[in-house]
């Protein structure tokens, strides 16, 4: 059943994003049912430049959407404070082959350390030719992981990985780990070779961000954000929903534990 709303809140751990839409947005809106009733038009024939422009637009949208998903998932799991990079000693440019090796590493880690949790992003290193230019479709795959794990000696993880070097650092002092990790990764983290393939890997037990719509969203902002100053705000135009007012807040506590929505948080008087 479709229903309208013009107010949305996304809560990722302590981080709150507020969306206010100028016009109503429909959830579970089955556009295809209405499309079937319309007379079919002949598809417009696009020239090569138009096709490239549309492809780039779709790729940019995919990158931005994936970055947002990664950022929210990381902020919903503040226990992920170890930042680990896995590299191959032997250049490995085949993503399918690299992903298979990586998944075997994850299986060995989970077998030996059942509490190990992670979010991992594959990336291609840049190969530079002798003219100082980046080689197309070059560069070995490596993996960035944000993870939760007990103390494990560097040598032991290197042996479990078994493919090359690793680098581990702790991010306990980073205020917004999700934004930090997305900024740390290169702007072209999604090489064209990754399109149509999985953009990141994760433990299924990670907490999910919470989305509130309509009345519950407004009640949340009224109760928990009305006295706060936004850490960021902007107004932008969306191709799909029109004008949007966006504000981001940082709470000093996590309102939803383990990704569960507790209505008492919004309606109790304490």
Model confidence band, residue 264 (pLDDT cutoffs 50, 70, 90): low
Report the residue count for the chain. 270
Residue 125 has pLDDT above 80, yes or no: no
Can you tell me the distance from the alpha carbon of 1 to that of 176, in angstroms, rounded to the nearest whole number? 37
Can you tell me the distance from the alpha carbon of 138 to that of 155, in angstroms, rounded to the nearest whole number? 29
- In the predicted model, what is the mean pLDDT of residues 32-47? 55
Model confidence band, residue 240 (pLDDT cutoffs 50, 70, 90): confident
Contact criterion met (CB below 8 Å) for 56 and 167: no
Task: Decide: pTM greater than 0.85.
Answer: no
Can you tell me the distance from the alpha carbon of 77 to that of 12, in angstroms, rounded to the nearest whole number? 8
Residue 34 has pLDDT above 50, yes or no: no
Can you tell me the distance from the alpha carbon of 187 to that of 178, in angstroms, rounded to the nearest whole number? 15
Q: Domain residues of the chain, as ranges?
A: 1-28+207-222, 82-202
Task: Summarize pLDDT for 133-185 with one digit per residue, the tens.
Answer: 445 555 889 999 999 998 888 899 999 999 999 999 888 777 778 877 777 66
Residue 189 has pLDDT above 60, yes or no: no
- Fold observed for domain 82-202: Alpha-Beta Plaits (3.30.70)
Residue holding tokens 């690793």? 166
The mean pLDDT of the chain is: 81
Q: Which of 3-12, 31-40, 119-128, 256-265 has the highest mean pLDDT?
A: 3-12
Burial status of residue 25 (CB atoms within 10 A of its CB: 0-12, 13-18, 19 or more): buried
Determine which of 178-182, 196-200, 260-264 has the lowest per-residue pLDDT on average.
260-264
Element holding 54 (H helix, E strand): helix 48-75
Q: Which of 9, 8, 67, 18 is nearest to 231 (CA)?
A: 18
């Amino acid at each position: 059943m479709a229903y309208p709303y013009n107010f949305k809140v996304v809560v990722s751990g302590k981080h709150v994003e507020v969306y206010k839409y100028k016009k109503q947005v429909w959830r579970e809106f089955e556009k295809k049912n209405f499309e079937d009733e319309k007379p079919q038009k002949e598809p417009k024939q696009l020239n090569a430049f138009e096709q490239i422009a549309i492809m780039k637009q779709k790729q940019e949208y995919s990158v931005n959407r994936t970055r947002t998903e990664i950022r929210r998932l990381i902020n919903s799991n503040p226990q992920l404070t170890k930042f680990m990079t896995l590299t191959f000693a032997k250049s490995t440019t085949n993503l399918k082959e690299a992903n298979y090796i990586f998944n075997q590493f994850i299986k060995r880690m989970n077998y030996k350390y059942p509490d190990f949790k992670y979010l991992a992003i594959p990336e291609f290193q840049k190969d530079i030719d002798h003219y100082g230019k980046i080689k197309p479709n070059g560069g070995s795959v490596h993996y960035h992981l944000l993870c939760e794990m007990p103390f494990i000696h560097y040598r032991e993880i290197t042996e479990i990985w078994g493919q090359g070097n690793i680098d581990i650092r702790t991010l306990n002092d980073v205020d917004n780990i999700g934004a930090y990790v997305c900024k740390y990764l290169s702007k072209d983290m999604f090489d064209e070779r990754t399109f149509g393939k999985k953009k990141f890997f994760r433990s299924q037990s990670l907490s999910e961000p919470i989305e509130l719509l309509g009345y519950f969203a407004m009640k949340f902002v009224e109760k928990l954000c009305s006295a706060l100053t936004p850490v960021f705000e902007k107004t932008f135009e969306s191709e799909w929903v029109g004008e949007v007012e966006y504000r981001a807040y940082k709470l000093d506590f996590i309102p939803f534990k383990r990704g569960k929505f507790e209505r008492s948080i919004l309606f109790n008087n304490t």
